[in-house]
A and B are shown apart, each in its own frame.
Chain A
Amino acid sequence: MTRLPITKTPKVYVGGAFIRSESARTYPLKDAAGNFFANIPQCTRKDVRNAVEAAAKAGPGWAKRTPYNRGQILYRLAEMLEARKADLADALAVGGASKAAAAKEITATIDRLIYYAGWADKYEQVLGNVNPVASPHFNFTVTEPMGIIGLLAPEEAPLLALVSLIAPAITSGNTVVALASTAQPYPAIVLGEMLATSDLPGGVVNLLTGYRKELVPTFATHTHLRAIAGVANAEERKALKLGAADSVKRVKLAQAEEPVDWFSDQAQSLYELRDHLEFKTTWHPIGA
């Protein structure tokens, strides 16, 4: 008799724990062949709020880590992905990715993490500066993380796009609440397991799965989210911007109508980091 394999119950990674939706709702995920694969948590508005709370708790500690330490943790995350490439390939295959396509997406994802890991202790030197003011002050501008960032991953490139959005946000000390691809949520489930073993403190990255229509309004209006980024269609962009006005949230959304090439070098940049930074200028007196 053949052995029946143990299937994994998909859970989302929130606040450093693997949880089901508080609503106990799921939606069925089928594999590329159309067979039942697993039940995916259908997260709710309450799940978004809980995730924001977890992100808020983790925020100050993460922001206070040294840039060197954050860089090493991102590098460690890349190590975790590298070691579990096979798992990620299987996860991408659920969505129909060929072996070659999966391998390409996985290596690009790992390289992206390495790219941002390297920025952790350098971006400040490029983005900040000392300002030559016309008074006896040592005037300098430094960056600070914004706080909690809401991220909306696109439907395509379910691993690479998600990581491309998360990495620049957390490199500088932000924490994130990210909504994974609805159609291809499984890579995000597996990614959570790697986040959990990467030395990244719980709550820094919170991953949700579910329906965008249900969750976008809460991303739009939750006042503790200081910024919204990712990919959205015209209707979502309008809703998110309308909601953002209530608390003057920063919004940086790519258009879902115009597919982004997540593999290109343009998809990774110092300016993706900058989008989640505030600039603080200090006037320090010079004198005895």
Chain B
Amino acid sequence: MPTVTSEKKRPAARSAGRPAPELIFGDLWEYDPSPETADPRLKARYDHFIGGRFTAPASGKYFDSINPANEAKLAELAHGSAADVDAAYAAARKAFDTTWGRMPGRERAKYIYRIARLLQDRAREFAVAETMDGGKAIKESRDFDVPMAAAHFFYHAGWADKLDYVAPGRKVAPLGVVGQVIPWNFPLLMLAWKLAPALAMGNTVVIKPAETTSITALKLAEIFQDAGLPPGVVNIVTGFGDTGAAIMTHPVAAKVAFTGSTEVGKIIMRSLAGTDKKMTLELGGKAANIVFDDAPIDQAVEGIVNGIFFNQGHVCCAGSRLLVHEPVAAEVLAKLKNRVKVLRIGDPLDKNTDIGAINSKEQLGTIERLVATGVKEGATMFQPACKLPSKGYYFRPTIFSGVSMSHRIAREEIFGPVLSVLTFRTLEEAVEKANNTAYGLSAGVWTDKGSRILKMSTELKAGVVWANTYNKFDPASPFGGYKESGFGREGGRQGLLDYCKLA
């Protein structure tokens, strides 16, 4: 099938041989610092949240939570042990049996609505805390993470008394206690994604935030208290991988849900092989972002940047493989480089910052290793010559061109601001390359043609397909992967069904 758009459809300027007008960003002036100054109201020490109370760890041990933007200590977090996890499950079981599991849906709904509203009330405070804790740019935590977290609670609250419509033909019932482990890339938002559907369905929860980003979870626990949420409905245990393993394998857990790497997802699958626990996994990705020659190029360039540099590329559905149609490959790459040159990297709390800090020293090391592999394997690397802060973990936005499908940077999830650019000639080749991966979480398609969008969406083996946009999320829109990107969906009617049993 010929997919090159006929010449007469090209913009007049380009077909006349004149260069298309270019956006000039320039560096004619310096930006003054513009830090967000709202008080994040952090405590010096955060305990677990078990049975409605902040509870010291049984071991008495704490660990430091670091601000990755400047390596300063933010707070101490409780190091969870098996005893803490046991206590959390006991509290969750009790809440399920005595309050939450018996409560009419309309009453559960009101609690969840309250959480949404109280989070909106304190949105800026949470955004600042999220940025300090995880390193993401304040404009993202302010405009995306926190409002989207509130939206998830608000959306799911309304389902709590309408569960008869979730599974037509069947009655649904909650599972009981659900164990959840979430990653560090969207700490508060992932918490909301996990909690909101579980609570709406009438389950109670034991959840572990990531060790580098636990603070907003514990701040949300303050909101649970303010909302009068019955004790034990949500229990938060902080700690490392061993704490997470204790949550996943606990005998009281009727179901476990995990978001994180495919590697850890597989370990969890193995550790639960001898049980009949229900499971949903939202794992890694290596998404193709596919640009056809008839795409609105300037818009596509913005979409490519958003696709891979959003949240420093710490996004499981990041558009980390750019597939460009050959006729426009040079133009797209040139415009992309121009755009990347003016991205602002630095203090995440600065309102002008586009790319903040890498979440941890460990992750920075992983990114550096894979980028070195890209260079070694012969891809051409481009990085803008921007200054990086002297303290903290930062990595320049990186574009690899001349990448082939066999390169490690085209196959492995880097989870950082690193884009691999490949080209294609026909739609079939684009589909073949996009699908040639063990992952299948998401994909992007850029074209002016509606029928081509639908054709691509049909062919791509991915759970989410964005057309002429990227990294869009909504509580009503189910999210989750094919193949080794996991199973189960989060959001929408489909997501709720993963938190119930059918009678």
Contact = CB atoms under 8 A, between A and B. Distances in A.
Interface of A: 126, 129, 131-135, 137, 139, 141, 226, 234, 237-239, 241-242, 244-248, 250, 255, 269-271, 278-285
B474 A131 contact: yes
Interface string B428-472: 000000000010000000000010011001000011111111001
**B464, B469, B493, B494 — which one has the most chain A CB atoms within 10 A of its CB?**
B494
B492 A241 contact: no
In the A-B complex, list the 3 residue pairs whose CB atoms are closest, starting with the nearest.
Answer: A245-B269, A241-B273, A133-B474
A226 B487 CA distance: 11
A132 B475 CA distance: 9
Q: Is the interface of B mostly helix, strand, loop or mixed?
A: mixed
A278 B467 CA distance: 19
Given A238-B273, A248-B265, A280 B462 contact: yes
**A134, A237, A270, A283 — which one has the most chain B CB atoms within 10 A of its CB?**
A283
A251 B454 CA distance: 30
A133 B477 contact: yes
Interface string B257-300: 00000100111011011101000010100000000000000000
B483 A226 contact: yes
A134 B491 CA distance: 14
B167 A271 contact: yes
B474 A139 contact: yes
Contacts of B262: 248
A102 B472 CA distance: 55
A237 B275 CA distance: 9
B286 to A, nearest CB: 14
26 contacts: A126-B168, A129-B493, A131-B478, A137-B472, A139-B477, A141-B477, A226-B483, A234-B274, A239-B273, A241-B269, A241-B272, A241-B273, A242-B273, A245-B267, A245-B269, A248-B262, A248-B281, A248-B485, A250-B487, A269-B169, A278-B463, A279-B478, A279-B480, A280-B463, A281-B492, A282-B454
Contacts of B484: 247-248
B349 to A, nearest CB: 27
A252 to B, nearest CB: 10
B502 A281 contact: no
Contacts of A139: 474, 476-477
Contacts of B480: 279
A238 B438 CA distance: 23
Contact of B467 (A237, A238, A285): A285
B89 to A, nearest CB: 22
Nearest to B494: A279
Given A129-B492, A241-B269, 9 more contacts: A126-B168, A132-B476, A133-B477, A242-B273, A245-B266, A248-B487, A271-B170, A280-B464, A282-B453
B479 to A, nearest CB: 7
A141 B266 CA distance: 27
A102 B266 CA distance: 43
Given A137-B472, A242-B270, A245-B273, A283 B492 contact: no
A171 to B, nearest CB: 16
Contacts of A239: 273
Q: Is the interface of A mostly helix, strand, loop or mixed?
A: mixed
A176 to B, nearest CB: 18
A89 B497 CA distance: 40
**A237, A244, A246, A282 — which one has the most chain B CB atoms within 10 A of its CB?**
A282
B193 interface: no
**A141, A238, A239 — which one has the most chain B CB atoms within 10 A of its CB?**
A141
B124 interface: no
Contacts, number: 112
A169 B120 CA distance: 44
Interface of B: 151, 167-170, 262, 265-267, 269-270, 272-274, 276, 281, 283, 438, 450, 453-454, 457, 462-469, 472, 474, 476-480, 482-487, 489, 492-494, 502
Given A245-B269, A270-B168, A281 B283 contact: no
Contacts of A248: 262, 265-266, 269, 281, 283, 483-487
Nearest to A241: B273
Contact of A244 (B269, B467, B479, B489): B269
A238 B492 contact: no
Nearest to A132: B476
A129 B285 CA distance: 25
B164 to A, nearest CB: 14
Contacts of B477: 131, 133, 139, 141, 281, 283
Contacts of B169: 269-270
Given A241-B272, A248-B283, A284-B467, A131 B266 contact: no
A164 B299 CA distance: 50
Contacts of A234: 274
A235 B260 CA distance: 28
Given A282-B467, A285-B467, A255 B270 contact: no
A255 B276 contact: yes
A284 B474 contact: no
A66 B265 CA distance: 35
A43 to B, nearest CB: 25
A133 B469 CA distance: 14
B265 to A, nearest CB: 7
A241 B268 CA distance: 11
Contacts of B493: 129
A283 B502 contact: no
Contact of B502 (A135, A137, A271): A271
A281 B479 CA distance: 7
Contacts of A250: 487
B80 to A, nearest CB: 25
Contacts of B266: 245-246, 248
A135 to B, nearest CB: 6
Contact of A283 (B267, B467, B485): B467
Contacts of B283: 248
Given A245-B273, A246-B266, A248-B283, A283 B466 contact: yes
Nearest to B480: A279
A140 to B, nearest CB: 9
Contacts of A237: 273, 276
A221 B411 CA distance: 22
A151 to B, nearest CB: 18
A141 B492 contact: yes
A280 B467 CA distance: 13
Given A131-B474, A284-B467, A238 B170 contact: no
Nearest to A277: B494
